[in-house]
Structure formats: C-alpha cells, structure tokens
C-alpha cells in the first residue's frame, strides 16, 4: 500500500499526517523536529511505498537529508504556490500537514528544486566568505576613519606585518590604540 506523509516543519516541532492511497488518514500528530524521530514515523514502511512532502523553510534541510539518505522520495513544496495552506485565515500545523499529504497524493504538489547537500555546503561557504570579506572591509574603513581623526595615514595595506610595525611607531590615545592594534596583528 502506498502512503504519503505530510510534514509541517518548524524550528522545534513538526506536525505530521500519514495518508493511505485512498486519502484516509492513518496517523496524525506532532514530534520534535529531529531527523531520527521523524524517520521513525515511516521506518515500518518500505521506502518505495512512501512519498514525503514538506513546505520549504529554514528548518527542513536536516529532515530532507535524513529521509533522502534513507532512500525515501522527498518532495519540497514552494511556499508561495501552496495557496490552500498559505491563504488560510487560521493556521493549524496538523491541518497543514494533512493538506500537504493530500496534495502529494493528488499530484497537486508545487514542487521546489532543492540543491544537493554538497552544493548547499558550497553555497554556504561562498556566502560565509562574502560576509566575512564585507565585514573585514567595513572594519578597515572604520579604522581608516578613526586614524584620520588623528591625521594618521597608514602607508601600506592594513593587517600586514608592515602596517603592524608602522602602528607601533604611532602615538595614539590608549583607548584608540587598543581597539586598532587588535586588527593590526600580523596574519601568518
């Protein structure tokens, strides 16, 4: 017998609804948003007999990866296209989970593309690099601005050994010196 499992995933809890191929509700409830606990919901069924659907959100990735690694077919819905759920006046997690399972059963599931874990990791690394680079640039600008108040121009790139040596020769108020010197520590 084929089944569909709808999951309404949140930070701490996940509402679920398991529906058989005739659209009859088999199980419904709530569990912690934990891959191991969510896998237990369908562990008694062969992976080929279950389709799992969830609405895309920040918290789905550990569950998505766990189900996918265990061989289950996992589909993620595009939130803007889930009109039955998103346009509801009153949100009920258990009803949303049931709606997801039923939409999956009827092949009325607005699927969203999910990158592989490897690609998500690479994108995250690039985003983190960009964030840190922007932060470094912001700090350098603040240091240049602070030093300009004392009519000091650093003759080389900030963060180098040469800039550290230069800053040791400059007279700054103690409070300013401590704040600036942390950044001028040479990078090896």
DSSP 88: -
Looking at residue 30, its pLDDT comes to 95
Q: How far is CA 57 from the centre of its chain?
A: 8
pLDDT of residue 84: 60
Residues paired with residue 4 on neighbouring β-strands, in sequence order: 19, 51
| pLDDT reported for residue 50 | 94
CA distance 87 to 1: 32
- Chunk the chain into consecutive blocks of 10 residues (it has 188) and report each block's average pLDDT, rounded to whole numbers: 91 95 94 95 91 92 94 90 61 84 90 89 94 90 85 85 82 70 61
pLDDT, position 76: 94
Detail the DSSP E strand segments found in the chain: 3-9, 13-20, 25-32, 50-55, 73-77
CA dihedral in degrees (39, 14, 31, 49; nearest 10)? Answer: -30
pLDDT of residue 42: 93
In order of start, what are the domains of the chain with their CATH numbers?
3-114 (3.30.420.10), 118-184 (no CATH)
Distance CA 113, CA 169 (A): 57
- pTM for this entry: 0.70
At 12 the pLDDT is 95
Question: Would you state the pLDDT for residue 141?
Answer: 87
CA-CA-CA-CA torsion for 44, 50, 54, 59, nearest 10 degrees?
40
Residue 52 pLDDT: 96
Find, among 188, 143, 187, 134, the residue nearest to 167 by Cα: 143
pLDDT of residue 58: 87
């Amino acid at each position: 017998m084929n089944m569909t499992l709808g999951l309404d995933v949140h930070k701490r809890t996940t509402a679920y609804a398991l529906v058989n191929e005739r659209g009859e509700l088999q199980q419904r409830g709530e569990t912690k948003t934990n891959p191991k606990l969510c896998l237990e919901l369908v562990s008694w069924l062969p992976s080929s007999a279950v389709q799992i659907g969830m609405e895309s959100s920040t918290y789905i990735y550990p569950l998505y990866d766990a189900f996918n690694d265990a061989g289950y077919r996992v589909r993620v819905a595009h939130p803007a296209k889930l009109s039955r759920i998103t346009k509801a006046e009153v949100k009920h997690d258990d009803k949303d989970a049931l709606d997801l399972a039923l939409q999956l059963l009827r092949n009325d599931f607005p699927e969203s593309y999910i990158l592989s874990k490897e690609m998500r990791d690479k994108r995250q690394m690039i985003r983190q690099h960009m964030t840190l680079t922007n932060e470094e640039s912001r700090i350098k600008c603040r240091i240049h601005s602070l030093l300009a108040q004392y009519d000091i121009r650093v003759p080389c790139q900030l963060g180098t050994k040469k800039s550290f040596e230069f800053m040791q020769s400059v007279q700054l108020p103690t409070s300013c010196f401590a704040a600036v010197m942390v950044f001028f520590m040479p990078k090896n």
